Structure 1
Amino acid sequence: MDSSPTPEHIALAQAVAAPQHGPRPLPLFLNILWRETQDDPELRRRAFIGLRKYQEAQRPPPAPPGHCVATAGPARLLQYGAATDGNPVVFIPSLINPPQVLDLSESRSMLRHMAAAGHAAYLVDWGAPSAQDAMLGLDGHIMERLLPMLAALPRPPILVGYCLGGTLALGAAAMQRFPAVATIAAPWRFDAFPAADLDLIANMWRGAKAMCERIGYVPMEVLQSGFWAMDPARTIAKYAAFADAAVGSDAEHAFLAVEDWANGGAPLSFAAGRDLFESLYADNASDAGRWRIGGRAVDIAALDCPTLSIVSTSDRIVPALAGPRLSEEHSLHLGHVGMVVGGRAREILWEPLSDWISDHGG
């Protein structure tokens, strides 16, 4: 059976597409949808209902971001909590997708929860790389973006990094001392990823590298295609399930917010993408002690501050075994995104993390 969508079907989907034509890239999403539902007409019908619903839904106005207190190139440091006598707490998101996953909405915001709990909370917004940033690698994001912004704070902050932001937080902590460092779903031991995922990522980069080098950046669509390929069945099933979400419900608002976040975001600089896919994923440089920043090897075993690694046994993007080995470790059973924005995130992650931060001067 031909698993490709027909021209008429693509035209129909595009005719009802929202202005952002999400999910991005839409043609690839349609191809996955058609392939994954070729033996299940009812699933296909419901997935298309969910897709149309996603594209046509009215979005509530976004919550206003924090106040900008420092910049470094396109990156900004946004303040959410009032200054206190304790250490500031800086939350570092991944370079992939926008930072809003940590401030998704008024009711699903780790940053607003931390501010309400009395922490002087800040969020890094990496911004969009310019043409001059093509050769800014992961080390450059730490040395030329992150550390200069942290220096603008009244005292050294506690660092909390999510996903690749946790990897960068550990790199920053290897360059200078911070009061404490916590990581959430941070990839570090890349040889612990499933072999199939490593092959998928290697093939994706092999096919995209020449184009990315020519244009100087890695488009978000390249990264999104990799995420979808890891679990195509789930990619389609969630849209089919969304067909039943009541209009105006919390479930609808949550789905829209998460999917808009997942389909948005600036590209990676070419050098950051090359570092991520070649040095970390392919070479496991971080865990093997071969990752160098500012000419120095990153050795997390040598960190002399309290450290915490939070992982999830049900994380499909960053498996629990791929997290760093730090002085404290905590395991959850929530998805990669659900652990920070899901209905149980406050109870399972936000509140225990807030207590840990308080225990270490935050």
Structure 2
Amino acid sequence: MDSSPKPVHPAIAYGDAAPQHGPRPLPLFLNILWRETEGNPELRRRAFIGLRRYQHARRPSPPPAPPVMAQAGAARMVRYGVDNGRAPVIFIPSLINPPQVLDLSERASMLRHMAATGHNACLVDWGTPSAHDAAMGLDRHVTDRLLPLIAALPRPPILVGYCLGGTLALAAAMLHPVRAIATIASPWTFDGFPDADRQEIATLWNGARSLCERLGYVPMEVLQSGFWAMDPARTIAKYAAFADMEDGSDQARAFMAVEDWANAGPPLSFAAGRDLFDHLYAGNATGEGRWSVAGRMMDLAALRCPSLSVRSTTDRIVPANAAPDLDEDWQLHLGHVGMVIGRKAHETLWSPLSRWLFTHGG
């Protein structure tokens, strides 16, 4: 019996408006809006209209949840394809924001495309850290979460990591047999980030660290603030553009889906945030071969499987120079999110990646 999830057409069932008073954190967004539109009353007016439309627009009901294959602590692995005897393909999202960016909607779902193409596609959902997970750093997300999920599979998989998920996937591939690994917009060489961006991130973290340590976690709002700081003008301009979109249009639905995803997500454990900001962004531990996982230094030269690095020349969140240098290198000209869910994602990434997976047993 086919247990793969069936898509729900966006015109069939609609739920309530945005569940949160987003964008999150709203006070900071309003501060940026006011600052970026100073001297431009028309842009300010349209941005406020777009904001109100976003907050009150009705959303389509989500599709049925795919079946759970395995669980390790708060993390789960769900299946989109069927076990057809080929190597499972595990898609590993970032710890930041929910995994739904890889299954955003009926028309923008890399996972459903891969399943329909014939891959035994699986997706990791990192879940929400508990009060006992404050000391769980990035290394333990590999050893205590990702590796047990991989071990639950009947045969060695192919790993496909997106953003920080690719960084974690590379560590897993050095510690557990896999058929191949591909990373998409994943950071590894952190001195490949512009100095100004690293300084902005350091300032943000220095201001938030003591509170996060007391809480035991890094709130999603802290992370979102960092993303907005990289390009505040674009943050406001896209809401102004939403004010002019036709209700119910594909463009409007796509905007809401992306913004709902970007404004959602669980916090990071404090230790994971500390590792990310102190050891990777500030210290470039991965790029310099000083990141230790399970007592081993993570060195890309230790990979013993075919590998692919997909990077973008227009990515502000993970610049092309920060991506890992692997066996194969693909360069796209799409943004960090657009490369996986944009209108050109099917032809520029999904289909070529599907062919690459097939050539390596997936």
Q: TM-score, normalised by structure 1?
A: 0.95
1:257 aligned residue: 257
Measure, in 2, the Cα distance between the counterparts of 1:294 and 1:147. 11
Measure, in 1, the Cα distance between the counterparts of 2:201 and 2:65. 33
Which letter does structure 2 place at the counterpart of 1:46? R
SS at match of 1:254: helix
- Paired residues of 2:50 and 2:240 also in contact (CA < 8 A): yes
- Paired residues of 2:96 and 2:268 also in contact (CA < 8 A): yes
1:66 Cα shift? 1.7
SS at match of 2:324: coil
1:19 Cα shift? 4.3
**Identity over aligned pairs, percent:** 70
- Paired residues of 1:301 and 1:326 also in contact (CA < 8 A): no
- Paired residues of 1:36 and 1:233 also in contact (CA < 8 A): yes
- Paired residues of 2:18 and 2:59 also in contact (CA < 8 A): no
- Paired residues of 2:18 and 2:58 also in contact (CA < 8 A): no
Q: Deviations over 1:247-273 (max 9, x none)?
A: 111111100000000000000000000
1:239 aligned residue: 239
2:302 aligned residue: 302
CA RMSD between the two structures: 0.8
Moved over 3 A (4+): none
Measure, in 2, the Cα distance between the counterparts of 1:272 and 1:147. 17
Measure, in 1, the Cα distance between the counterparts of 2:148 and 2:285. 25
Measure, in 1, the Cα distance between the counterparts of 2:220 and 2:93. 16
1:272 aligned residue: 272
1:39 Cα shift? 1.4
2:144 aligned residue: 144
SS at match of 1:69: strand
1:65 Cα shift? 2.6
- Unpaired stretches in structure 2, ≥5 consecutive residues: 1-16
SS at match of 1:21: coil
For the pair 1:336 / 2:336, whether they are aligned, the reply is yes
Q: Deviations over 1:309-352 (max 9, x none)?
A: 00001111000111000000000000100011111101110000
1:218 aligned residue: 218
Which letter does structure 1 place at the counterpart of 2:43? L
For the pair 1:187 / 2:173, whether they are aligned, the reply is no
- Paired residues of 2:18 and 2:260 also in contact (CA < 8 A): no
- Paired residues of 2:163 and 2:184 also in contact (CA < 8 A): yes
SS at match of 1:155: coil
SS at match of 1:287: coil
Which letter does structure 1 place at the counterpart of 2:279? S
Which letter does structure 1 place at the counterpart of 2:75? A
- Unpaired stretches in structure 1, ≥5 consecutive residues: 1-16
Measure, in 1, the Cα distance between the counterparts of 2:144 and 2:224. 27
- Paired residues of 1:136 and 1:271 also in contact (CA < 8 A): yes
1:64 Cα shift? 2.1
Measure, in 1, the Cα distance between the counterparts of 2:176 and 2:306. 14
For the pair 1:74 / 2:81, whether they are aligned, the reply is no
For the pair 1:109 / 2:148, whether they are aligned, the reply is no
SS at match of 1:285: coil
1:24 Cα shift? 0.3
Measure, in 2, the Cα distance between the counterparts of 1:148 and 1:290. 24
1:355 aligned residue: 355
Measure, in 2, the Cα distance between the counterparts of 1:62 and 1:137. 31
1:248 aligned residue: 248
1:175 Cα shift? 1.1
Measure, in 2, the Cα distance between the counterparts of 1:19 and 1:128. 18
Q: Deviations over 1:61-119 (max 9, x none)?
A: 11223210100111100000000121000000000000000000111100000000000
Measure, in 1, the Cα distance between the counterparts of 2:274 and 2:44. 37
For the pair 1:99 / 2:99, whether they are aligned, the reply is yes
1:167 aligned residue: 167
Which letter does structure 2 place at the counterpart of 1:146? L
For the pair 1:119 / 2:113, whether they are aligned, the reply is no
Q: Deviations over 1:116-175 (max 9, x none)?
A: 000000000000000000000001000000100111111111000000000000011111
- Paired residues of 2:50 and 2:242 also in contact (CA < 8 A): yes
Which letter does structure 2 place at the counterpart of 1:232? P
Which letter does structure 1 place at the counterpart of 2:38? Q
SS at match of 2:183: strand
SS at match of 1:286: coil
**TM alignment of 1:280-291, pairs within 5 A:** 280-291=280-291
1:18 Cα shift? 5.1
SS at match of 2:358: helix
39-48 vs 91-100, which deviates more?
Answer: 39-48
2:130 aligned residue: 130
SS at match of 1:54: helix
Which letter does structure 1 place at the counterpart of 2:116? A
